[in-house]
Amino acid sequence: PPAGQHLDARQSARLRTAKDVNKLAIDTIKNRPTDNFFLYVHYIDVHDWILFDIPYEESVRRFDKALGDLLDVLESEDLLEGAAVVFTSDHGEMLKAKHLDFEISRHYGNPSFEPLLQVPLIVTPGLDRPTDAFIRGQDIRGLVKSAAGLDGETAPALGTNELLVTERYYQTFR
């Protein structure tokens, strides 16, 4: 925005759509100096469904399309062969289950509910570890390093079977 002008949440959300994120990511891919690179892409549309006045499920469909479009570009640039791709989220979801505190309407579910602790994680190529292994958010850095062929590491802050999930109004320790 121009100097001195502040955006409200709805205006700000319209500047960070998956379409805009993809444009920046694709520009970065097209202008890469080498085929060896690390690309981190963070989509936020699913959190902004209320600001866009669309159903939550539609925001998930928009994200899914954007991710597919990005993967199509990577494939068209012959960058997926030999690549490590890691897909994850900040939390799981409980569709149609509202927060216990109805003033919080940004997403469904209290993060202390088990379905919200079950975060999606897809890694390709697969790693040499059990598919039912307990992987925490704080372990993702080591997992990405391992997927890239580097020495991975376990986050030392918690025990290997401990998990800490925080949201603005909730903290859950398991």
Give the pLDDT confidence of 71-103 residue by residue, as tens digits. 999 999 999 988 888 888 877 666 555 545 545
pLDDT < 70: residue spans in the chain: 1-5, 7, 10, 13, 92-117, 152-157, 165-171
CA 174, CA 170: separation in Å to the nearest integer?
A: 13
Per the CB < 8 A criterion, the answer to whether 166 and 116 are in contact is: no
Bridge-based pairing of strands 85-88 and 121-124 is: antiparallel
For the beta carbon of residue 21, count every other beta carbon within 10 angstroms: 18
**What's the pLDDT score for residue 102?**
46
CA 98, CA 133: separation in Å to the nearest integer?
A: 29
3-state SS class at 139: helix
pTM of the model: 0.73
**What's the pLDDT score for residue 153?**
66
